[in-house]
């Protein structure tokens, strides 16, 4: 009364329908990977390279701003750290990677 009759389904044609669907989607995925590379990965790598060259080019006497917003003049350089003079007689030791930008000469007065 409440149970309906179940009928068997016909078997799908053995012709590789899944493979053709996969091959039709492959160009879409390749285009998406190329767009992802050119819009996200490549610009990030370029920024990292510019930051690394800026850090390697630091010299004694440069005026810099750190990521935390501290502005100072470089007095000592080490392998992974540098010393900033933020005021007369006040020096801070920071990591080289914390340098956000090199400021023009005369920014600190």
The DSSP annotation for 62-107 comes to -EEEETTS-EEEEEEE-SSEEEEEEETTEEEEEEGGGEEEEEPTT-
Convert the pLDDT of each residue in 3-52 to its tens digit. Answer: 888 777 776 655 556 777 778 888 899 999 999 999 999 999 999 999 99
pLDDT at residue 5 in the model: 80
On whether the 60-109 domain is CATH 2.60.120, my answer is no
pLDDT at residue 80 in the model: 94
Indicate the pTM of the whole model: 0.69
């Amino acid at each position: 009364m409440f149970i309906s009759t179940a009928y068997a389904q016909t078997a799908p044609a053995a012709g590789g329908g899944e493979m053709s669907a996969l091959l039709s989607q492959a160009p879409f995925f390749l285009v998406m990977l190329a767009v992802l590379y050119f819009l996200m990965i490549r610009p990030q790598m370029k920024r990292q390279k510019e930051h690394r060259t800026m850090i390697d080019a630091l010299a004694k006497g440069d005026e810099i701003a750190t990521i935390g917003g501290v502005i100072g003049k470089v007095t000592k350089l080490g392998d992974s750290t540098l010393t900033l003079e933020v005021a007369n007689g006040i020096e801070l030791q920071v990591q080289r990677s914390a340098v956000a930008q090199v400021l023009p000469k005369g920014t600190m007065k």
